């Protein structure tokens, strides 16, 4: 019985260790929706619209391959698609990895769960082009192509 309690305590401490790891604290440091972090000057809502928003990107797990997305399409890890909590289906967005400045254009075809911080869930092909496949998450700037053109 003592070994069962020790094992349960070990599992709980491992879970807490994962929750408090740097990968999760990075997600907590993302900017509020509609803002872009700039060390030198505050950003107004007007400039945030033209430059997009900063947030966190992750990518789909393998278990979602060929499952239906919220738009009705099947998820294909080789296509450049993404899930976002508020952008309309069919919206094309430029996603820029702030770590290495690589970028990709994806089409929103799914929904991800609502979060307080800007967040996008990318296909594996998009994550590979951005250079963070295998790393889990990265900080990105998300710019809708409509914003970019205006």
pLDDT in tens, 47-78: 444 589 999 999 999 999 999 999 999 999 99
* CA proximity to 82, closest of 50, 39, 129: 129
On average, the pLDDT of the chain sits at 76
For 103, phi and psi rounded to 5 degrees?
-140, 160
Confidence at residue 2, expressed as pLDDT on a 0 to 100 scale? 47
- In terms of DSSP bridges, do strands 53-59 and 119-122 run parallel, antiparallel, or are they unpaired? parallel
Q: What are phi and psi of 41, to 5 degrees?
A: -140, 145
pTM score over 0.75: no
Q: How far apart are CA 14 and CA 98, in angstroms?
A: 30
The domain segmentation of the chain, as residue ranges, is 1-29, 31-149
Q: Measured between alpha carbons, how far is 150 from 139 in angstroms, rounded to an integer?
A: 24
The most confident of the ranges 2-6, 42-46, 60-64, 103-107 is 103-107
The CATH code for residues 31-149 is 2.40.40.10
* Local structure of 46: helix, strand or coil: helix
């Amino acid at each position: 019985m003592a070994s069962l309690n020790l094992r349960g305590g070990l599992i709980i401490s491992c879970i807490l260790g994962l929750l408090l790891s740097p990968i999760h604290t990075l997600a907590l440091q993302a900017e509020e929706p509609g803002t872009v972090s700039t060390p030198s000057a505050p950003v107004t809502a007007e400039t945030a619209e033209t430059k997009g928003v900063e947030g966190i990107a992750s990518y789909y797990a393998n278990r979602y391959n060929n499952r239906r997305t919220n738009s009705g399409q099947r998820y294909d890890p080789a296509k450049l698609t993404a899930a976002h909590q508020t952008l309309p289906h069919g919206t094309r967005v430029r996603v820029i990895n702030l770590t290495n400045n690589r970028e990709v254009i994806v089409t929103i075809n799914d929904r991800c769960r609502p979060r307080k911080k800007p967040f996008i869930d990318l296909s594996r092909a998009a994550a590979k082009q951005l250079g963070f496949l295998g790393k889990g998450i990265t900080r990105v700037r998300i710019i809708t192509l409509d914003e970019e053109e205006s």
